[in-house]
Structure 1
Amino acid sequence: MPKSEFYQTVPEVTGEQGARKQSFYDSYSRQKLDPSDPAVFRNSLLDFVRSNKLVADALIAGNVQMLGFSEVRKSFGERWPSIKDKILLLAETVIKKNTGPADAFLMVNEEQIVILFGGGDKEKATRSSEKIAREINEKLSGVSGIKEGLVTCRALVLELDPKTPIEALTTPEGLSQTVDAAQRKEEDVERQHFEALRSELHVSYWPMANIRKKLISAYSASVILPIWKASGEEQTHTGVFNCELDCYMLTQAGEALMRAGRQRRALLIVPVHFDTLATKPLRQQFIAACQLLPRLSSKRILLEIVDLAEGVPQGRLHTLLSFVGPFFAGFVARQPLSFRTPERFVGLKMMAVAADGSHVGTPARDDVERMQGFAKACGKARMRSIFYGASTFEAATAARRCNYDYLQGAAVAPAVADPGRVYLLK
C-alpha cells in the first residue's frame, strides 16, 4: 500500500475529541519543568502557583533526594555520566507514573528532584512520595555497577511557607533553596521537640529468658516517652526525631554497659530505626554516636533493626549494616508474627529475629498458629527467635510451647534500671 493511501485510512481527530486529547498531552508534557529556558520556567511556575493558590493555603512540595551519588561517582570515572543519566531517567519514569497532570517536577541536579503537587492534598502527596521512593529504591538494585544501598532514594513532603514571595520560586535555584529551607525548618522543629523532652525520657531494660538454657542471658533496652508523645502530638516526618532518639538510647546503653563492671555481663539489645541507617545524613550522625561506645560493645551489644520493610533487598541490607557492623556483636531484626522469610537475613550477621507479641493477651487459635509459623521459620533458617511483650502468663506459656528461644515481657520478668549479669533461673 502506498504511504499516502495508508494515511488516508487514518481518521483525522478534530473538534471536541481532538481538544480533549491535545489538552491531556499538553498537561502531561508540562509535568517536567525545563530549567534551560528561564522565561518558560518562570511562566510555568507562575501558572502552577496561581492555579493551586485557589485550592490550598500552602503549596505542597515533595523533596526527592538521591542520596549517595558522591560516594559512587569516583568509582565509575569516565563512565559516570552514562550511569547518572540512567538513574535519573529511571527516577523520572517512576515520578511520571505516580503523579498526575496537575503536578510538576524539576530535576534540580543529580541528587535532588523537586515535585510540586497540585490540589494541596498533603496526605495524597505523602502516599505518592513514599511510593515513588519505594519504587526507585527497588529499581536501583538492578542498575549495573552500583552496590545496593550506596544510592538511596528518600522522599519528604513539605508545606512551603505561604509568605514566600512568588518570585523566589520562579528560578530553579530559588525553588530548590525554598524547598531546602522548608526541610531544614521541619528538621529543626523535630530536633527541638526531642530536646524539650530529653529530661523526661527514661530507658529501662527488660530481662530476656533463654528457655532452653534456663538463663537470663540478655536484656532489651526500651525507652519510655511522655504521654503527649504517644498521643500523636509529635510526629516524625524527616526522621530526625527518631535518629535523635536512637542516638540517645545507644549512648545510654553504652553507659549502662560500663556501669555493669567486670561481672559476667549479659547481652544487651538496643533498637535503631531502619531509616536512621538508610538515610545518609542520619546514618552519619548515628555512626558518630557509635564511635563513642566503649570497646566492649563489639562483644556485648546487639543492634535491633525496627521498622524494617519486608521488600528491602538483601544486598542493600548488607551494605547498610556493614557501616555499623564493627561496633556491635551482631544484629536482630524485628518483624511481625506473619513473617516467614528469615533466609533473606542469612549472611548479614543477623543473630535473631524478634516478634512483638504485646497485643497477645490470651492467645486465640490464630495467634498460636502465627506464633508457631514464626518460630518454625526461624528454626529452619537456624536463627534464634525472640518473643517480645509477653504480658500474660498465657502468652508466655504459648510462646514457650511454640519453641521460641527467648521470652521477654512483664509475665517473664519486670524491667530494671540497669542491665545486669547472667542469671540462672531456678
Structure 2
Amino acid sequence: MSSDESSSIERITAGGAAAALDRLAGTDLVERGCVTIISVEAIRKRSGDRWPRKRDAVWAYLGRKFDEHLAYQDIRHRVDETDFLIAMTSEEGVAAQAVSLKILEEALLFFLGVADPADMKIRAVSAINGEELACTDIDLTRVTDHRTAPAVEVIAVSACQAAVDPAEERRRNPISFVTASGQNLRIDFSLEEAVSLRHKVTAALRIEPTVTHIASGRTIPARAFAKLSDDDIAFIDRASLDYAALFAGAGDTPQPPLILPLSFRTLSTRKGRQGLIGTEGLPPQRVKTGVMVELIDVDRGTPEARLLEVTGLVGQLCKGVLVRLQPGRDAVGPAKGARLQGLTISAVDLGNSDTQIAAHMLTIASQARGRAPVLMIHGLASEGYLDVAEVAGFTHASLRGARSALAQPAA
C-alpha cells in the first residue's frame, strides 16, 4: 500500500452492521486511527472456484485470530465476504493498526504459505456515514516499523530522533538550573519505547527526565522531588514539555502517543495547566490527541477530592491521565476514586535485586488489577524482566532508555 491519501468507500453488506456501528458511535476511535479494514481478497483470488467451499474455513480462522489478539471490548465485524472491520479500544493509532496487520499476515501465511506485501490489504476507516465507511490507505512501512520482535527494538525511538534537528535537541537536552536553595541541578532526557506486552507492538513513546545533582553526581529520583520547591518542580516540567515538543510530530499523522511525566503540584494550578497547552511546538490539539500525562507525585497526602478535580481538568486537555504508584502495602490507595487511563510504576523504585523487583512487580500488579485499562512498568533494566511483567499482569512495559544519541555529554 502506498502512503498517499487515496480513499475509498466501503459498504457493509454482512448482517449485524447496525449493532457494530452503534458501538462505534460516540467514541473517538476513528479519529485516533484505531478502526481498520483488513481484506483477504488475495485468498479468494487464489482459491478461484473453490472459494465458496473455503470461505467458511477462512472466516472461522479469522474468528480464532480475533479472539487471540483482541480484547473482549474490541470490536470485530465482517463487512462482506473478504473484508473485516476491527476497532481496538485497548491500543492507540499505529499500535492498533499493527495488531490488525498481524492478524491479516497470519491468515495469509496459514492459507497461502506466504504474506506478500502486495496482498496485505489494510485501510484505516476515516469516517462512518450510515452503513458506508470512508477508508484511506495505510503505509505498511510505517506500521511495521512499530511492530517489535520478541526482543524489544527501539525502531520508533530511532525514527523519532532521526526527524529531530540535532542542534535543537542538544539545546534542550541536557539543561541545567539552580534551585531555590542554591543547588546546581541538571536534567537529562531519554526516550523509552512502551510496548504492549500482549500484542508486542509499540504502544507509546515515553519521555524520561533524569535529574542529577551536578556537584556530587547523585541522581535525584522522582519520589524525592517533594524536597524541591514548587518553582523548581515547575522548571523541570517546563523543560520536559519543551523537550516533548521536539517529538510531537504532525497532529494529523497516526503515531504512538507521547507519555510525559509531570508533577501533580504543577498541574493543580491554572498556570501549570496553561503551560501544558501553551508550549511552543505543542499546540492544544496535538496535546489532546497525542500526549498522555503521567502524574509522578501522587501520594498518601494527596486529597482524594483534589485528585479527582485535577485529573478531570487535565483529562480535558490531553489524551489521557496516568498516575505513578509507589510500592507499599496499599500502593493503589492514593489513586482510588480517580478515573484514570492507566497506572504506572517505575522499576527503579522496586529495589536492586532481581528477587526484590520481581516480588514488588507481582504485589503491585495484584493490587492494581482491574483499576485502570493500562498498567505499565517503565525503566526496566533488561529484556528479561518483560516476561516477568507480563506474567505478573502488567499490560505495558518499557526498558530503561539510554540518553539520546543526539545529546552531547554535559560538562
Normalising by structure 2, what TM-score? 0.46
Normalising by structure 1, what TM-score? 0.45
